[in-house]
Amino acid sequence: MAELLRTEKLRKYFGMVGAADNIDLQIKEGVLTSIIGPNGAGKTTLINLLTGNILPDSGKVFFNNEEITHLPTHKRVKKGICRSFQIMNIFPKLSVFENLQIPTFSLLNQSLSFFKPVRRHTDVNERVEKLVNEIGLADKKDHPAGTLSHGDQRLLEIALAMAPEPKLLFLDEPTAGMNPVERVKVLENIRRLSGEKKSTFVIVEHDMDIVFSLSDRIVVLHRGQILADGKPDEIKQNEDVRKVYLGEEILWEKV
Amino acid sequence: MKLKIFLLIVLILFLLLLPAFVGKYILYMSIHILILSVFALGFNLLLGYTGLLSFGQAGFFAVGAYASAKILLIVPSLLLGVTAGVVVGGIAALILGYLCVRHTRIYFSMLTLCFGMMIYSLAWKWRDVTGGDDGLVGIPRAPFEIPGIFSINMSPMGNYYYFVLVVSLIAIFVLYRIVNSPFGLTLKGIRDSENRVAFAGISIRNCRLLSFTIAGLYAGLAGSLLPPLENTVTPPIAHWTTSAEPVLVTLLGGIHTFSGPIAGAVLFYIIKDFIVRFTQYWLIWFGSIVVLLVLVFRGGVVIFFTERIWPLLKRMEG
Amino acid sequence: MYLWLLAVGLTLAFGVLGVLNFAHGSLFMLGAYAAFTFYGKIGLNFWLSISLSLVSVGIIGAILERFFLRHIYRLDLPYQLILTFGFILIFDDLVKMIWGGVAMIPPMPSFFEGNLFILGRVFPFYNIFIIFAGVAVAFVLWLILEKTWWGRMIRASASDREMASAIGINIPFLFTSVFVFAAMLAALGGALGTPVRVVAPGIGTAMIVQAFVITVIGGLGNLKGAFVGALIVGILTSFGILLFPVFELFIIFVVMAIVLMVKPEGLFGK
């Protein structure tokens, strides 16, 4: 399996707080990885560093063996890295269809084309149709995104991250705030898409059910460092991990 | 939808037939309205669609005007003058835009104000080139001609009106296409959620620069149409108070609609003309209207019409 | 020096209220007209005139804040600028209505007439007075902000509005008082300027852009910065007039542009 992403001694300090402390991480293609850890462990910071939202104090990031440490976000997307957000980042005033058109136009390098009306771009529109059907929002495609239910907005958020057809896709708490039905829907989608092997998923999650049922590999973060890294069974047995989740023993026992 | 197209055709016919039944003064005012509309439409691409407030558009307007004037003083060809204005306006916007778009909202606005005033101070002081505070005079309303093919005399107000009308309609049409193109969609995305656009793989800076340049082109175009009308060009057109005109007019008509700036321009001149008949202190009224607009009718007149009155009318017929 | 007073008022209003008030120049102008009316037309004592003009503009400032500005705090910048621009238009015309559109030259108070000879150069007495007045105002300002309870509230609110309100500072009252204070500063600038400057509609508008330049160079919301900024602008203008007589205005804007591009928060900004 090819190595997609690699970090070397990645560091990011906010004042005295080490949000990322000398992190060495490798992400392999096709391996669905989950990143877990108690609050404040540095999960979102890590994703921010890897996707270009913030820049590290020191250390390097490599994608397909190419250094991307200081590459701006939109260039990383073009290289094949994308993410969804914990806090919703959809285009509320645009329709669902339009929301997905924007990254698709970018994918086909037509974002700056300014003469032909949008509806005439059949190649883009076909792809968006397919995407909307895949994610299950076809019946709402002309609704303004801001009027969707929370769960549907989250689906849209994930679809937006998938639209650029990235090789590596980070999902930051994709099921946050969803009810069980919506949660299952998202799960199914992720499982299916991961199975299709088009994108490699890396998920940050708090819901242990999802983490353990979905992941091929789990990385545990604690205070900016990697505490444990391995297959779900190994992690379940890991003493350090259990200690760190002390307060959440009950949650842990369930698993 | 059919109704809209019908209304549009009626409007265009009305505009085409206007010289047949109104006097010179109204034609003169109409030309001013068209110029302001083009200026404001370009401006609104920046504000309403990309979310950038530029207080320096007058700079490009002036650059376009002065360029057009200088050309016309040498070669009396309207086509050349207007083209020069557009090109120079666009280039200026490209260069200054490159410096400005890397900054965020408030600093962007201040920078544009800054550059606009720099152009103003140049216009005012650089006597050799711009004529200083006397400006450039004696600019001919040159004929619209393609050498060897045809030449139309522009001295009659009616003829110049047609020229400006056709140019404006073309400009409006082009902008309409731009706004409905993928680029327009991308701009709306930037206005809605900047962060997400970057994650769609789009360079926000490039988009803003393109938007800024287009606005500059339109400002330059609008500016270049002015000298043949007035036969003079003076520095005040580069002052920030001129930059405020498209801002006001767009606000008046509606920031988030395409036709807002045009409606605003029409209203601006009508209101001004109306008020001036009664008192020389029209600014007070205008200022008050502006204050009222900001506090109450924030969407502008067009939105007020489409969201409040139109449904009412529909309900009344059905 | 008048520019500095205007700039300080502007930066204060922005730092605490978060509003960039385009119409501040108009308040300056109103201060000048008021002082001129009290002193030049009615013939009141010079000091009394200045105090009265401060009070009257202060009242206008209070009305502005209470009834109009309050509503736009949460709005985007474009609306703020446009609203305050609307007021510029209103005030400009208002002034024309009441006092006529002709520029007027106010008389110089007799005890300030005459010049001083320093180092072989002629310095009008009044200008020296202005310099001292400026320093005095700066000192008083510093005192107020550092030592008084009100000043401390201002500084607290400037850094964190929500927190300030949470610990019980009466924000609306504070805002009004700050704006009134800022307005009075502008008026002071206008009023003090009357003996040596022309009183005409539009003098505020002419100065507001330069005041903006000062606040940007010094850092929006930063008072120390405003002082330094004013100094810089003053020096640049003088040198500019000496060296590049044609382009002194241009130079100021170039500096402003450079500051904005390199360190947008200003020389002293955060």
Q: Is the dihedral of CA B303, B307, B313, B318 positive or negative?
A: positive
Contact C97 B287 (CB under 8 A): no
Report the residue from A91, A116, A117 with minimal CB separation from B192: A91
The answer as to whether C142 is a domain residue is yes
pLDDT at residue B159 is higher than 70? yes
Touching pair B, A by Cβ (3+ pairs < 8 Å): yes
For B214-226, write each residue's pLDDT tens digit. 999 999 999 888 8
B52 touches chain C (CB under 8 A): no
Nearest alpha-carbon partner for B96 in B270, B266, B267, B217 = B217
Residue C75 lies in a domain: yes
Q: Report the pLDDT averaged over residues C195-217.
A: 70
Across A116-125, A223-232, C31-40, C71-80, least confident range: C71-80
A-B CB pairs within 8 A amount to: 108
Name the pLDDT band for C270 (thresholds 50, 70, 90): very low
Query: Poorest-confidence range of A56-60, A81-85, B169-173, C266-270?
Result: C266-270
Side chain identity at residue A151, one-letter code: G
> Given a contact as 3+ CB pairs under 8 Å, which chains touch B?
A, C
- Contact of chains C and A by CB distance (3 or more pairs under 8 angstroms): no
CB contact under 8 A, A105 and B182: yes
List all chains that touch chain A, counting a touch as 3 or more CB pairs closer than 8 Å: B
Q: Where are the alpha helices (DSSP H) in chain B?
A: 2-21, 24-44, 57-74, 78-100, 105-125, 127-130, 157-179, 182-192, 194-198, 204-224, 226-230, 240-253, 260-278, 282-295, 300-304, 310-317
Contact B111 C260 (CB under 8 A): yes
In a domain, C262, yes or no: no
* B172-208 per-position pLDDT tens digit: 988 888 888 888 888 888 887 777 887 777 788 888 8
Residues on chain C bordering chain B, Cβ-to-Cβ distance under 8 angstroms? 20, 68, 71-72, 75, 77-79, 81-83, 85-94, 96-97, 205, 209, 212-213, 216, 246-247, 249-250, 253-254, 256-257, 260-261, 264
pLDDT tens digits, C166-180: 666 666 777 777 778
What amino acid is encoded at A68 in this protein? I
Indicate the domain borders of chain A.
Answer: 3-254
What do you get for the CA distance between the two ends of chain B, in Å? 17
Nearest to C250 among B113, B122, B248 (CB): B122
Q: Does B294 touch chain C (CB under 8 A)?
A: yes
Query: Tens digit of pLDDT for each residue in B57-77?
Result: 888 898 888 888 888 888 777
For residue C200, what pLDDT is reported?
67
Cβ contact C251:B119 at 8 Å? no
Closest CB to B110: pick one of C75, C82, C260. C260
Cα torsion B211, B217, B221, B222: sign: positive
Give the per-residue pLDDT at C163.
63
CATH class of the domain comprising A3-254: alpha beta
Contacting residues of B for A98, CB less than 8 Å apart: 185, 188
Please give the Cα distance from A57 to A63 (Å, whole number).
Answer: 18
B133 at the C interface (CB within 8 A)? Answer: no
Cβ neighbours of B295 (radius 10 Å): 16
Q: Which DSSP category does C40 fall into? A: I
What residues of A are in contact with residue B204 (Cβ under 8 Å)? 74
**What pLDDT, on the 0 to 100 scale, is given for residue B318?**
44
Q: How many CB atoms lie within 10 A of CB C244?
A: 12
Q: Which domain holds residue C127?
A: 2-201
C172 occurs within a structural domain: yes
Contact assignment for B181 to A115 by CB distance below 8 Å? yes
Which of A215, A216, A253 lies closest to A236, judged by CA? A253
What is the rounded CA–CA span in Å between residue B20 and residue B16?
A: 9
The DSSP output letter for C69 is I
In a domain, C28, yes or no: yes
* Mean pLDDT computed over every residue of chain A: 80
Residue B235 has pLDDT above 60, yes or no: yes
Question: Residue B64 in contact with residue B85, Cβ under 8 Å?
Answer: yes
Which chain A residues are Cβ-neighbours of B180 within 8 angstroms? Answer: 117-118
